[in-house]
Amino acid sequence: MDSKYNATVIGKIMITPDIMVLRVNTDTPRAEFESGQYTVIGLYGHEARSVNSGEEHKESQSDKLIQRAYSIASNRASSNQMEFYISQVKDGQLTPRVFGLEQGDRLYVSERIVGMFKLSDTPKGFDIAMVATGTGVAPYISFLRSHIAENSDINMAVIHGAAHQWDLGYYSELSFLASTFPNFHYFPTLTDADETWQGRKLWIKELLEDEILANEANIATDPEKTHFFLCGNPKMAEGISAWLNEYEYEKHSRKVPGALHVEEF
Ligand SMILES: Cc1cc2nc3c(=O)[nH]c(=O)nc-3n(C[C@H](O)[C@H](O)[C@H](O)COP(=O)(O)OP(=O)(O)OC[C@H]3O[C@@H](n4cnc5c(N)ncnc54)[C@H](O)[C@@H]3O)c2cc1C
């Protein structure tokens, strides 16, 4: 069987048993892309599933390439190295196989990098509010790694909602950026934190209703001044979109440009 594999695992950082940062080296360099875009990862059905996964919801065919979309967390520059932030769906077809990968293992990474969720599309001078649940923070990591230094004239914030402290992948990097760039603000918030967590414990919508962006980041909830990006859980995206609609936000699409950008996982 001809294998479509064209990339090698060069790093696998387990944030928790079910969340990982995956680094791959592609055989040929990928073209420059726009921060926020995604590509497709694939593995054949004959690959082993991770030891802590469950039974798959539908049996995969051993010779079929299982393919799914993943946002790219790397800097946008052309490179052989790409980084992804992936959570394991225990009964899923692809992710348990991705979690079974080890350093040096081969996989498929599409050469096409696509998507409308482009942070760099934001018109000049607009502030940027980036809201994520779970692995939805990945596109913002790409944006900050690529563009934070050249955006000193606008305010930017990441609001990251998760359940536990250990679910906050990129906490160190985002905290470091917030302490280095006065115009970048990082608001992690946990819904199921233990007593060691000194930070925020509200739902994302409650933080927004409390005007955390205006009060602590000088970012207005106003489509004439701020572009909002929502990435992750569809329920979060739905709830926050409805809240933003009250402020006259309109969803961005290819046909109708708007200041509200949504990517659902
Ligand atoms: C643009 C985009 C970007 C994304 N970026 C990321 C990212 O950066 N990180 C990340 O972790 N994820 C990301 N995702 C999600 C990712 O593409 C996969 O959907 C996810 O990883 C699950 O894949 P899987 O093959 O393991 O699970 P799947 O096999 O696709 O199953 C997913 C769930 O759906 C249910 N299901 C699916 N089909 C059926 C069926 N026929 N009957 C019953 N139940 C069914 C399963 O039970 C399971 O719970 C992104 C998705 C999109 C669209």
Q: What is the pLDDT of residues 45-86, one digit of tens each?
A: 999 999 999 999 999 999 999 999 999 999 999 889 999 999
Q: What is the mean pLDDT of residues 144-164?
A: 96
Where along the chain do its domains lie?
Answer: 7-109, 119-264
Q: How far is the CA of 41 from the centre of ligand 1 (A)?
A: 12
Rounded-to-integer distance, Cα 158 and Cα 175, Å = 10
What pLDDT score does 1 carry?
A: 65
Q: How far is the CA of 92 from the centre of ligand 1 (A)?
A: 7
Q: How far is the CA of 67 from the centre of ligand 1 (A)?
A: 10
Q: What percent of the chain has pLDDT over 70?
A: 100
What pLDDT score does 88 carry?
A: 98
263 lines ligand 1 (CB under 6 A): yes
Mutate to test the pocket of ligand 1, among 22, 47, 89, 98 (most ligand atoms within 8 A of CB): 89
82 lines ligand 1 (CB under 6 A): no
pLDDT at residue 180 tops 80:
yes
pLDDT at residue 107 tops 70:
yes
Class of domain 7-109: mainly beta
Mean pLDDT, the chain, rounded, equals 96
Which residue's alpha carbon is nearest to atom 18 within ligand 1? 68
Which residue's alpha carbon is nearest to atom 38 within ligand 1? 57
Q: What is the mean pLDDT of residues 219-247?
A: 98
pLDDT at residue 197 tops 80:
yes
What pLDDT score does 120 carry?
A: 81
92 lines ligand 1 (CB under 6 A): yes
Q: What is the mean pLDDT of residues 19-41?
A: 97
What pLDDT score does 68 carry?
A: 98
155 lines ligand 1 (CB under 6 A): no
pLDDT at residue 95 tops 70:
yes
Q: What is the mean pLDDT of residues 21-30?
A: 97
Q: pTM higher than 0.75 for the full model?
A: yes
CATH 3.40.50.300 for the 119-264 domain, yes or no: no
Which residue's alpha carbon is nearest to atom 28 within ligand 1? 92
List the structure tokens of 25: 């080296």
Q: Closest ligand 1 atom, CA of 96?
A: 26
